Each structure stands twice: as structure tokens, then as C-alpha cells.
């Protein structure tokens, strides 16, 4: 086994070997993307508590039976058996396996967020410093062709003065994930800004290229509350007499997803039924499972809207809005400079030049795909960068190393403290 730090500038004469810890949607996707480059990477072990997901990943990558595990601790008990490990467990289960595998010598690709609480985020950074492990965090927005083009074009608008950034979560995405789903309660996962938008605050810092000095934030749980339940509504959409007039209807959303073929609604229906795409499975889940609950009769407590105000070194200011109450679409950003304005939506970038009073637009999509597909190419670019960095000895390809990722996470925690206390938080 070998680490990136041990062969900088020298390519290996074999593929790197990868273990997968957590074979859900993200872990399996990263494993598949790595396997597209067989000369550079090979999946040799998997640990996943769910039998079907474990068998699926192991089968696709021809992982031998003696290296397929229900519990990651059984994998760790073998000692180091691969060059690197993909850790894509539940957010609350990131710290322990990261510390163990880093201590064993693995390099690590770690799903975001790093951890759900601040002290664990810091502890992961300390583990990397202590062991010398390369830990790359899956901040895929840093790796997109859109981001690369945007950073190259940003000097064209002169000195950057301020930024406006919107994360439009989408009404049915929010209802699925943050009202009925896994991220609805802080005591079970974490607060919404970290779960949904640590990407955004990390990306803003990466593009702006300066540290945050002060942060303030406001927001709360405005709409998905019991007092907003419509008259006559029942606790389950399947039996609700006002379901047809409710934009958050679980019946409409998941049944549409059943027949959608691809896209977000199909994905959410797969999550709801655990990949059993039948009318019977959808009806049973609507009647019995958490995804059939009325959005005004759930046990959710995370915010449904939040604004974050940031002041960067040099006085650059940014306003960021995360909200449920939008169509499901890509992020929108405006950069305001002394010579022009740059506007982007994850795919298209438009620069308006003050001198010529003309606009120029470029399409950053190489294949015509939307910004939502594979995170606008970020998923594949992230995995390609990680695999190539380890295989060819090129650490500069890793754009989301652990220390800068820890720093951007700390901005997220500071923003949440501000929201709760009403205070402006000074970071430097």
C-alpha cells in the first residue's frame, strides 16, 4: 500500500485500490465513477449495513466475499488492505471511521459534511494533521467546469465588491428531505444550513479567495408547522380530503415519481420505497412510512429559510439565501465588480461590461446537460481528481483538502450561532 505523500511527482505502475465504507447513493456513485478509470483505480472492499446495497456494490465491482462487510469495524480489523477509502456513511458516523482509517494509513475521500457537530469537524482535521493522511472532502461544487470558468472570468469585472447567492432548495425537495425525511430533525442529524448548504459557503470562499472575518444570520421554521395545517386536513396525505389542493401532497409527488423514469421525483420515490418501484410499494409507504405524513403534522424542527451575511477580508460582502420556497432549480449567483457584473446559474455565465454596455454569455456544459445532473459534472470531476492525484502523485489536483474544508465548515457553525443568538460573529 502507498500514500499520496510518498510518491509526489511519480506515477504508480498499477491502479490504486479503494475500499468503500457506506454504499448508499453517494458511496456507490463515487465507487462507480472511480471504476470508470480501471487503469487508475479498483474497488477491492466494501462495508455497508444494508444487505441489498452491500451486495449491489460488491457485485458490480467483483469484490471478493472475504472483503465484503456489514460493519466497517470488521473491515478495519483486517488492517490496511487498500490504498484509500471512500467514507460515505451517515453524517453522524464520519468521525470514528475517519480517525481509525487515517491512523491505519489510508488516504480518504470523505463525504460532506465532515461531521454534524463542530468539535468533530475539528477532530477530523486534527486526525489528518496527526497521521499525515490525505483527506479530500466531497465539496463537488469546487470541481465543476462551471466553477473553473467562473473563476477565470471573475477578474473581467474588476475588483470584486459584493456577491448575492441563492440556494433554491425546491418546495418538494425540502418537503421530502427536511420535513418528512432523514434531515428533518437536528437531534437526529444536524441543522439545515450544514446539511444542505455547507457546499455553498465553502464554494463562495473558494471563488472569492479570501477568509471570512464576520458573519451574521437570520431565519427559522416559518411554514411547516402545525398551526399552518389546512382546515380539514388529516395527518396522512393518502386519506386527506384537501390533498388535491396542497402543493406538498405526498400522494402526487411520489406517484408522479413512480412513472417519471428519471429525475428528482423518481429518485425521491426510490428513497421512499427503498427502490421498489410498484404502485403497491408506494401506497404502502404512503400509508405507513414517514414520507406519507402531512407536512404540517411531522416532527420536523429544522429551518425552512435562512439568510447568511458574510464579510470577507478586504471588505467584500456576500448575502446568501437558503430557502424551501422555490422551484427545484440550480443555484443563482451575482458578482458585482467595479467594471461589471457576472451572473451565473451553474451552467451559463453572463458578464455585463460597464464600459461597452454589452453582455457576453458562455455555456460551460460540455455535453448540454443541466446543472443538476451529477452536480454539473462535479461528481465525476471530484472522483477523477482524487483518483488521478493518488495514482499520478499530484496533490495539487485535490481542490478540497481537509484544512480548507474545516475552515469553511467553521463559517457554517458561526452562521448558525449567529442565527440562534442574534449576534454578529467575528472569526478573526
CA 131 to chain centre: 26
Element of type H or E holding 314: none
pLDDT of residue 100: 98
Three-state secondary structure string covering 104-145? CCCEEEECCCCCCCHHHHHHHHHHHHHHCCCEEECCHHHHCH
Question: Is 88 within 8 Å of 30 (Cβ atoms)?
Answer: yes
Distance CA 84, CA 286 (A): 40
Domains and CATH numbers, the chain: 4-138+381-397 (3.40.50.720), 145-224+300-374+407-426 (3.30.360.10), 232-292 (no CATH)
pLDDT on residue 375: 52
Q: What is the mean pLDDT of residues 310-330?
A: 97
Q: How confident is the model at residue 361 (pLDDT cuts 50, 70, 90)?
A: very high
Q: Which pTM was predicted?
A: 0.93
Region 344-360: mean pLDDT is 97
pLDDT for 164-216, tens place per residue? 999 999 999 999 999 999 999 999 999 999 999 999 999 999 999 999 999 99
Return the number of other C-beta atoms located less than 10 Å from residue 275's C-beta. 12
Q: What is the pLDDT of residue 370?
A: 47
DSSP letter at 311 equals E
Q: How confident is the model at residue 135 (pLDDT cuts 50, 70, 90)?
A: very high
Q: What is the pLDDT of residues 374-421, one digit of tens each?
A: 456 789 999 999 999 999 999 999 999 999 999 999 999 999 999 999
What is the structure's pLDDT at 376?
Answer: 62
Query: Is 178 in contact with 304 (CB distance < 8 Å)?
Result: yes
> What pLDDT score does 371 carry?
44
| pLDDT tens-digit map of 2-36 | 999 999 999 999 999 999 999 988 999 999 999 99
Closest CA to 84 of 98, 95, 71: 98
Q: Looking at the predicted structure, is the pLDDT value of residue 143 above 70? A: yes
**Residues 88-105: tens digit of each pLDDT:** 999 999 999 999 999 999
Q: How many CB atoms lie within 10 A of CB 26?
A: 17
Overall average pLDDT of the 217-245 stretch: 97
| Of 89, 137, 132, the residue nearest 378 (C-alpha) | 137
- In contact, 333 and 165? CB cutoff 8 Å: yes
Q: 286: closest CA among 324, 263, 253, 259?
A: 253
User: How is residue 378 written as a grid cell?
Assistant: 462535479
| Measured distance CA(144)–CA(150) in Å, rounded | 10
Instruction: Please state, rounded to an integer, the average pLDDT across all residues of the chain.
Output: 95
Amino acid at each position: 500500500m502507498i500514500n499520496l505523500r510518498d510518491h509526489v511527482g511519480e506515477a504508480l505502475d498499477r491502479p490504486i485500490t479503494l475500499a468503500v465504507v457506506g454504499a448508499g447513493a453517494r458511496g456507490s456513485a463515487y465507487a462507480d465513477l472511480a471504476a470508470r478509470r480501471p487503469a487508475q483505480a479498483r474497488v477491492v472492499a466494501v462495508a455497508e449495513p444494508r444487505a441489498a446495497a452491500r451486495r449491489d456494490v460488491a457485485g458490480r465491482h467483483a469484490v471478493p466475499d472475504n472483503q465484503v462487510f456489514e460493519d466497517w469495524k470488521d473491515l478495519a480489523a483486517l488492517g490496511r488492505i487498500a490504498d484509500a477509502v471512500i467514507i460515505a456513511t451517515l453524517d453522524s458516523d464520519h468521525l470514528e471511521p475517519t480517525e481509525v482509517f487515517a491512523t491505519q494509513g489510508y488516504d480518504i475521500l470523505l463525504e460532506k459534511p465532515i461531521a454534524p457537530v463542530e468539535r468533530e469537524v475539528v477532530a477530523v482535521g486534527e486526525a489528518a494533521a496527526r497521521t499525515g493522511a490525505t483527506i479530500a472532502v466531497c465539496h463537488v461544487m469546487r470541481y465543476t467546469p462551471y466553477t473553473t470558468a467562473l473563476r477565470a472570468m471573475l477578474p473581467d469585472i474588476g475588483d470584486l465588491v459584493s456577491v448575492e447567492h441563492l440556494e433554491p432548495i425546491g418546495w418538494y425537495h425540502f418537503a421530502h428531505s427536511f420535513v418528512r425525511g432523514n434531515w428533518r430533525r437536528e437531534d437526529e442529524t444536524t441543522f439545515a444550513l450544514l446539511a444542505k448548504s455547507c457546499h455553498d459557503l465553502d464554494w463562495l470562499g473558494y471563488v472569492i479567495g479570501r477568509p471570512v472575518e464576520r458573519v451574521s444570520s437570520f431565519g427559522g421554521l416559518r411554514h411547516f408547522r402545525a398551526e399552518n395545517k389546512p382546515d380539514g386536513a388529516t395527518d396522512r396525505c393518502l386519506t386527506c380530503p384537501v390533498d388535491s389542493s396542497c402543493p406538498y401532497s405526498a400522494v402526487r409527488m411520489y406517484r408522479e415519481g413512480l412513472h417519471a423514469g428519471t429525475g428528482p421525483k423518481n429518485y425521491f420515490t426510490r428513497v421512499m420505497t427503498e427502490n421498489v418501484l410498484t404502485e403497491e410499494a408506494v401506497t404502502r409507504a404512503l400509508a405507513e412510512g414517514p414520507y406519507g405524513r402531512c407536512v404540517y403534522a411531522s416532527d420536523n424542527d429544522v429551518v425552512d429559510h435562512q439568510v447568511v451575511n458574510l464579510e470577507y477580508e478586504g471588505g467584500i460582502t456576500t448575502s446568501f439565501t437558503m430557502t424551501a420556497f422555490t422551484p427545484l432549480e440550480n443555484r443563482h449567483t451575482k458578482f458585482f465588480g467595479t467594471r461589471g457584473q457576472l451572473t451565473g446559474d451553474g451552467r451559463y455565465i453572463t458578464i455585463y461590461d460597464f464600459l461597452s454596455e454589452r453582455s457576453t454569455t458562455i455555456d460551460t456544459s460540455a455535453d448540454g446537460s443541466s446543472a443538476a445532473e451529477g452536480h454539473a459534472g462535479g461528481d465525476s470531476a471530484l472522483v477523477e481528481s482524487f483518483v488521478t492525484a493518488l495514482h499520478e502523485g499530484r496533490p495539487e489536483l485535490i481542490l478540497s483538502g481537509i484544512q480548507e474544508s474545516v475552515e469553511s465548515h467553521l463559517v457554517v457553525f458561526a452562521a448558525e450561532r449567529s442565527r440562534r443568538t442574534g449576534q454578529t460573529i467575528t472569526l478573526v
